[in-house]
Amino acid sequence: MSSPDLDLFVSDLDELYREVIMDHYRRPRNAQELQAPTIKTHGLNPFCGDESSIQLVLDGQGRVAQVGVQGRGCSISQSSSSLMSVLLKGKTVEEVEGLTELFRRMMQGKDLSEPERLSLGEAGVLEGVRRFPVRIKCALLAWMTLLDGLEEYRAKAKHAPE
């Protein structure tokens, strides 16, 4: 393959597989499974076998004190999971839901405002996935799994005895 073609190949893929993404794939953060989590959830993308397990420990003020994310899958799903885990620390459940909604909107191709993008931190780098539509589900897996877990937590809290 000629050098210009190889450069194009590399640069096209670089849009998707940014350094930060591949770093989080190779060295996933917060990978330890938490033993006594406040929230525990699991998600699966049956079409490809990507899996995501998430645990959260909330402190007395309802903020995320600890995060555990484990799973298996492609570089996009796993790095997205790791990037998400870093973002969650110290946030309230409402803030987490807000960030998840922002991330989802970004994946759906909506433009975010500057403060919105900044609030996503390094997870914003997954913006490049939008050019590869088949991979959007990969990027969303951990976030949607988390959302399911939060919904369940809220539902339980509603029905919990006073």
Partner 1 sequence: MVEQGYFSTLPGAKKELMLNVARLRQDFPILSRKVNGRPLVYLDNAATSQKPRQVIQALVDYYKGYNSNVHRGVHALSMEATARYEEAREKVASFLHSPAPECIVWVRNTTEGINLVAHAWGLANLREGDEVVVTEMEHHSNLVPWQKVTKATGATLKLIPVKDDGLLDLSRLDTIITPRTRLVSVIHMSNVLGTINPVKELAKAAHKVGALFMVDAAQSVPHEAVDVQDIDCDFLAFSGHKMLGPTGIGVLYVKPEVIREMEPFLTGGDMVREVWWDRATWNDIPWRFEAGTPSIADAIALGVAVDYLQDLGMVDVRAHEAQLTRYALERLKPLEEVNVFGPRDLSVRGGIVAFDVPGIHPHDLGTALDQEGIAIRTGHHCAMPLTRDRLGLAATARASFYLYNTEEEIDLFVESLKRAIGYFNGVGRRSPR
Residues at the contact surface with partner 1, assessed by CB under 8 A: 1, 6, 9-10, 12-14, 16-17, 19-20, 22-23, 25-26, 46-51, 72-76, 132, 134-135, 138
Rounded to a whole number of angstroms, the minimum distance from the CB of residue 18 to partner 1 is 9
> What is the secondary structure of 103-159 as a DSSP string?
HHHHHTTPPPPHHHHHHTGGGGGGGGGGGSGGGHHHHHHHHHHHHHHHHHHHHHHHH
* Residue 42 or 63 having the CB closest to partner 1: 42
Q: How far is the CB of 48 from partner 1 (least distance, A)?
A: 5
What is the spatial distance between Cα 89 and Cα 84, in angstroms, rounded to a whole number? 9
Strands 39-45 and 64-72: unpaired
Q: Report the nearest approach of partner 1 to the CB of residue 44 (Å).
A: 10
Least distance in angstroms from the C-beta of 14 to partner 1 = 8
Q: Which of residues 62 and 133 has its CB atom nearest to partner 1 in the complex?
A: 133
- Rank residues 54 and 96 by Cβ distance to partner 1 and give the closer one: 54
Nearest to partner 1 of 43, 102 (CB atom) = 43
How near is the Cβ of 19 to partner 1 at its closest, in Å? 6
Residue written as token pair 């609030």: 119
Nearby residues of 32 by Cβ (< 8 Å), 6 or more positions away: 68
Residue with smaller CB distance to partner 1, 95 or 122: 122
CA distances from 139 to 34, 105, 132 (A): 23, 12, 11
